[in-house]
Structure 1
Amino acid sequence: MNCKQTQTLVAAYVDSEIDALRRYSIKKHLLDCADCAARHESILALRARIRAEVPYFAASPALRARVRTAVGTLRVSVRPRSRPTGDRWRWLSGGVLAGCTASVFAWMLGTTVLAWHANEDFAVAAVAAHVRATLGDHLIEIASSDQHTVKPWLSARLDYSPRRIWRTKGSR
């Protein structure tokens, strides 16, 4: 808790009008901050001075009896409720729930259909590329395993050197 918050809540703290968590935070802050502790002490002193110097008016027993009789004879008018609001809210919440459920279902259905079409297009494209590759009359372009033949052919078609996946004996 900072000084600004404590300055705002210190009067309520003195009157015990705040919850336990804030009361603990203010109490801890008052131990650390001299300015806020001084403000707290001044409010306590003012409260003690008011209680000591300001006269307290105590009502006479006759006045108390008259007030209690007047309050007892007052009629509290209760307006009849035209319609219970619980039914209205129940109906409205049911409609909102149904709308949300329909929206979520439509969204799930749409994304599933779109994903299915995207996968189908990919599969069709992959099969078409494979068929195109096998339809040609030159399935094997180099029928040699000689590195002096294969290396220039690869260098002409690739921008990088392919990685070897086998180990040769006697080399690194």
Structure 2
Amino acid sequence: MMDHQETLELLPAFADQELGIVEMQEVQRHLENCPDCQREYAAQRIVSARFKKDAVYFEAPLHLAHRINSALPAEAARARSWGFNWMNLGAAMAAGLALAWSAGLYLNLPSDQDRLTGEVVASHVRSLQVDHLSDVVSSDQHTVKPWFNGKLDFSPPVVDLAQQGFPLVGGRLDYLDGRPVAALVYRRARHPINLYIWPSNDRDQPPQLQNHQGYHLVRWTWDGMSYWTVSDLAANDLQNFVGLVRSTVRQ
């Protein structure tokens, strides 16, 4: 069984379909169970495709091949012909394996939505592990909202839901989907709730509930803003929180 380092060294040749059948199969088996090598292979394929796209190819004229074969002894010409046939067969099999693997890898790559879901949950968990829920600690929306001035290129809506059982704890800067975002922190009893907000060009979308790694998430888009909230709250409690945020923001 090919180990991790050997696979990494052979990935460029695997991407360019330059390996033998046995090595192709061993690399493919390793890739099936190694996310790190899968990502590296995907990167190698992109680089290879870019080089091939811009490369200039020259095809030898047919008369040159006839001249070479006619200059060889009869036995050597026949051997050369057989050799080319086996080489072509091997190249075709290798190309087929690489194509099948590439298609499988492409189909198994996470979508943009799946990737962002993972980012949101990771940010939520990270904020709990390092005890960094808030950069500004305050239950006053008039303290939290101005804190974001000059730190973001937009002004996030900050609502006070203490009377409804979801007191504001504070806010912080975070980074999601390739840009800085506002993270507002609320609580329900002992359960922290992260509410992420950033500008969006997408059309308005109603709330959508999902579960990821044991956490409930609700995402929606409204009036040029993307909202994502995540917590270990029960699903109905988190949906109640979302309804309160939406009704207050729309006022």
- Normalising by structure 1, report the TM-score: 0.33
Q: Structure 1 or 2: larger helix share?
A: 1
Q: TM-score, normalised by structure 2?
A: 0.24
Greater percentage in strand: 2
Bigger-Rg structure (1/2): 1
